[in-house]
Each structure stands twice: as C-alpha cells, then as structure tokens.
Amino acid sequence: MEKPSSERMKDPISKNRLEFLFDGIFAIAMTILVLELKVPELEDRHSVGELWRKLSHHAPAFISYLLSFVMLGNFWHHHNRHFRHFRRITLGMLGLSFVQMASAAFFPFCAALMGRYPTNPLSTAIYIGCVMVYMLASMFLWLTAEKADAFTRDLAPAEYRKARRQNLIVCTIITLMFGLYLMNALIH
C-alpha cells in the first residue's frame, strides 16, 4: 500500500487510491444493478402462477441484469490486467480514468433502459454507446500511458503492442456496432 516516501511525492496521484476508487465504483455499479429489478404487485399473494407470469413478463430485465453484470465483470478484469503495468498516473490518465468510471457508474441506467424497452432501437443504441465510451477511454488511456512513459519496465514492447492492437480491434467493432444501431434507431 505504501510506496517509499520519496517516490510518493513525485506522483501527482496515488495509484493505489485510484485503483481503490475504481474497484469501489465497479463493486457498487455491479450491485445496484439489482435495484432496477422490482418485486411485482400480486393480486393473489399465494399464487405461484401469477408470480411466475409477472416475473417472466420482466424476463428482459433479468437478462439485462446478467448481461450487464458480465459486461462490468469483464471490464474490471481487463482493467485489472492493464492497470498493473502503470507505474504512475498522470493527469491525463486520471481524466481518462474518470471517463471510464463515469460510464461504468452510468451502466445501471443503461441496463434499466434496455431491460425495460429491449425492442426499442434507441435503448440498445444508448447501451452500446455507453460500452463504446468506456472502451474508447480504455484505449486512449493505454496510448496516453505510452506517451507519458508511465509503463513499468516489465511490460515488453511486444506485449504492449498486442494490447494496443486488441484495444483497437474491439473499439472499431463496438464503434461500428454503435453506428449501425444508431442508424437503425434514426431510420426507425
């Protein structure tokens, strides 16, 4: 947790505390997804059939819950793998981290929207748009870290380039998907 005092003074930002804030926001976003799942109102409190009908009526909300949990878990996993390679955090990297956190914190709203109106092209476009913003911030974070020479020495150039290439591919795909869904929503 503690870095030697001399090194600590040079960093503008504590990497540990940023990691902590990031993990905290992910833990909360992943948990408050559940607040969008509402207990249905039953006319007959004892009726299994009615409860089942009303819950399955909200099946998209449950699917959206699961999908979003997996999505956030996946983001967290990649952050975990990449973040260890940073030996310091510059202001630009902090800014991009806040974009990542803002879009992760925005996820419960997107999940609720998609769970409620799964067939509405606009809600899908907004959901994918939020994923896209997160991904683009991830990619730029990686590029900014290189420019700022913020990588640890144990990251081989080949590894770095591989991660950058993967980021680029994923970002291109998600941006194309966003474009498609947005067009779909516009011509609807």
Environment class of residue 37 by beta-carbon count within 10 Å: exposed (0-12), middle (13-18) or buried (19+)? middle
Please, which residue, 66 or 172, has the CB nearer to a second copy? 66
Closest contact distance (angstroms) between CB of 71 and a second copy is 11
For residue 108 the two structure tokens come to 């419960």
Closest contact distance (angstroms) between CB of 35 and a second copy is 7
Cα–Cα separations (whole angstroms), residue 160 to 74, 78, 188: 20, 14, 42
| H or E, element range at 149 | none
Please, which residue, 123 or 167, has the CB nearer to a second copy? 123
**What backbone phi and psi angles, to 5 degrees, belong to 12?**
-70, -30
Are 54 and 79 in contact by the 8 Å Cβ rule? The answer is: no
For residue 120 the two structure tokens come to 């509405």
Distance from the first to the final alpha carbon of the chain: 53
Closest contact distance (angstroms) between CB of 180 and a second copy is 14
Closest contact distance (angstroms) between CB of 151 and a second copy is 12
Q: Using CA atoms, how far apart are residues 188 and 184, in angstroms rounded to an integer?
A: 6
Please, which residue, 93 or 139, has the CB nearer to a second copy? 93
Please, which residue, 30 or 135, has the CB nearer to a second copy? 30
Closest contact distance (angstroms) between CB of 145 and a second copy is 17
Q: Using CA atoms, how far apart are residues 163 and 148, in angstroms rounded to an integer?
A: 17
Please, which residue, 110 or 135, has the CB nearer to a second copy? 110
Closest contact distance (angstroms) between CB of 24 and a second copy is 3
Are 93 and 144 in contact by the 8 Å Cβ rule? The answer is: yes
Please, which residue, 44 or 149, has the CB nearer to a second copy? 44
